[in-house]
Amino acid sequence: RPPGREGTPTPATTPAAEATAKRPPAREEEVERLRASIAARPAVDRARGLLMTAHGCDSDTAWQILRETAHLSGAPLPTVAAAIIADATRTGPHPPQKVRDALAVSLARHLP
């Protein structure tokens, strides 16, 4: 049967489409925030691995360093991760000074 005939949902009337269309603005913002978080995950994991390799720390310590650096610098976690990757791989611009300073403080706090 062609779309739109009785019993056959059209793309605009599928349950998923209806749920998306009825989603309140706050929920839509949350969905977008989660999508951005998922998209940033590979960079965060790579930065974590670079910290572990460069400083001989475990995964939890590397995570604490990343989070604290983001907090101290006021930069989002994906920005901190990208800065660490860029610095370690010598690609892209140098990390912003506020991120470098925050990273130095965090490393000093968490590593012997």
The model scores a pTM over 0.95: no
Domain-located, residue 4:
no
Q: At what angle do helices 77-89 and 25-55 cross, to 10 degrees?
A: 30
Q: What is the pLDDT of residues 6-62, one digit of tens each?
A: 555 555 556 655 655 666 778 888 888 778 777 778 899 999 999 999 999 999 999
pLDDT value of position 55: 94
Domain-located, residue 100:
yes
Q: What is the pLDDT of residues 85-109, one digit of tens each?
A: 988 888 777 788 999 999 999 999 9
Q: What is the pLDDT of residues 63-86, one digit of tens each?
A: 999 999 999 999 999 999 999 998
40 Cα distance to chain centroid: 3
pLDDT value of position 3: 56
Domain region containing 48:
11-110
Domain count, the chain: 1
